[in-house]
Amino acid sequence: MNDLFQSAAVQTLLRFLRSSPCSEAVSDWPGDRLTALQEAGVLRWNVPKEFGGLGLSETEMLEGYRLLASSCLTTTFILTQRNGACARIISSPNQTAQQTLLPPLVRGEQFATVGISHLTTSRRHLASPPVRVDADGDGFRLNGTIPWTTGATQADLLITGGELTDGRQLLAAVRVNQPGVRVRDPVELMALSASQTGSVELTDVPVGPDDVLHGPVEAVMRQGAGGGAGSLGTSVLAVGAAEGMLRQLEPETRARPDLNEFVLPLQQTAERIADQIHQAVSGQHSEGAKAAEIIRQQANSLVLRTAQTWLAATKGAGYVSGHPAERAVRESMFFLVWSCPQPVLTANLRELACSGATGEL
């Protein structure tokens, strides 16, 4: 494992995240946990050295996410959305935007998030795009509703986009405090409500040339780097979450060795998927381009089965509201709906329906 993850700063952070469960209340944004990430240097991991970050490799980032997700899923999920915003800025050809936007994000003075799912997955079946883009002088105007944005209530910067009438898409940096941006109250979710996820309305929001990050171009989310729907980053969160559950189940397993029959295969599967993720990053996965989807399907399956194993092991006690096992079951469901490409979901549904032996893609 990378020495960075063994450092006193990171180990202190992990102990802090594990010391008490993150609040589930929609009003309880985990600001103290994000400050702890900043103090441990985590907000610099994903940013290249030229912009003041540590420039961790993809393998290192995924290992970091796995450790963090095993400690607090809510905090790690928020971090991925913030890092998703950074990634779109980093991969942009717009150097002015990079130089203005990245430094305050790296220093933790500002928080950014993404509202991009409507460009690839959300609301794609509707006749008109959720966010419309119109040319306006040397810039553009945005109108519509971004259906999903985590932490928009706390964000200074929102990386979002929309579609022009000719079908081309644009990705831009929108300041949340600018006129025309209305962050709706975050919704109560089945789990992870403290991530303050909700919609954002845009009314005639101007986007100047310095704010355009990518496009206008067809399928703007295929531009540059930054982990799309169902990326390895989403899978590693599911693996980490499952490992966190197995760690919390350990005292029960020590007292009841009969549980080993069920727990050991889950531990081995988590290790195997983590290995596959490393192989996929280094281009050595046997399934090539299909690897990410296969891995995500297996990671979803693992986290769902692990949570239910924990619940079954803890019996009625685990079913009482507030027990970590019932919370784990609710949190595991997140992976069925978040950043989950249709082929992955179909494979998971086949597994649930037992209509394919292993729910293969």
Ligand X SMILES: Cc1cc2nc3c(=O)[nH]c(=O)nc-3n(C[C@H](O)[C@H](O)[C@H](O)COP(=O)(O)OP(=O)(O)OC[C@H]3O[C@@H](n4cnc5c(N)ncnc54)[C@H](O)[C@@H]3O)c2cc1C
Residues lying near ligand X in the complex (CB under 6 A) are found at: 81, 113-117, 121-123, 125, 147-150, 189, 192, 197, 337-339
Count CB-CB contacts under 10 A for residue 316: 7
* Min separation Cβ 117 and ligand X, Å: 3
* Min separation Cβ 118 and ligand X, Å: 7
Alpha carbons 157 and 145: distance in angstroms, whole number: 16
* Min separation Cβ 191 and ligand X, Å: 8
Our CB check for ligand X shows the closer of 76 and 339 to be: 339
Our CB check for ligand X shows the closer of 127 and 353 to be: 127
Our CB check for ligand X shows the closer of 184 and 278 to be: 184
Our CB check for ligand X shows the closer of 125 and 315 to be: 125
Look at strands 131-136 and 169-175 and give their pairing. Answer: unpaired
* Min separation Cβ 25 and ligand X, Å: 15
Cβ(122)–Cβ(130) below 8 Å: yes
* Min separation Cβ 353 and ligand X, Å: 18
* Min separation Cβ 210 and ligand X, Å: 23
Our CB check for ligand X shows the closer of 48 and 147 to be: 147
Our CB check for ligand X shows the closer of 173 and 192 to be: 192
* Min separation Cβ 258 and ligand X, Å: 36
* Min separation Cβ 21 and ligand X, Å: 17
Our CB check for ligand X shows the closer of 198 and 359 to be: 198
Our CB check for ligand X shows the closer of 169 and 267 to be: 169
Per-residue 3-state assignment (H helix, E strand, C coil) for the chain: CCHHHHCHHHHHHHHHHHHCCCCCCCCCCCHHHHHHHHHCCHHHHCCCHHHCCCCCCHHHHHHHHHHHHCCCHHHHHHHHHHHHHHHHHHCCCCHHHHHHHHHHHHCCCCCEEEECHHHCCCCCCCCCCCEEEEEECCEEEEEEEEEEEECHHHCCEEEEEEECCCCCEEEEEEECCCCCEEECCCCCCCCCHHHCEEEEEEEEEEECHHHEEEEEECCHHHCCCCCCCCCHHHHHHHHHHHHHHHHHHHHHHHHCHHHHHHHHHHHHHHHHHHHHHHHHHCCCCCCHHHHHHHHHHHHHHHHHHHHHHHHHHHHHHHHCCCCHHHHHHHHHHHHHHCCCCHHHHHHHHHHHHCCCCCCCC
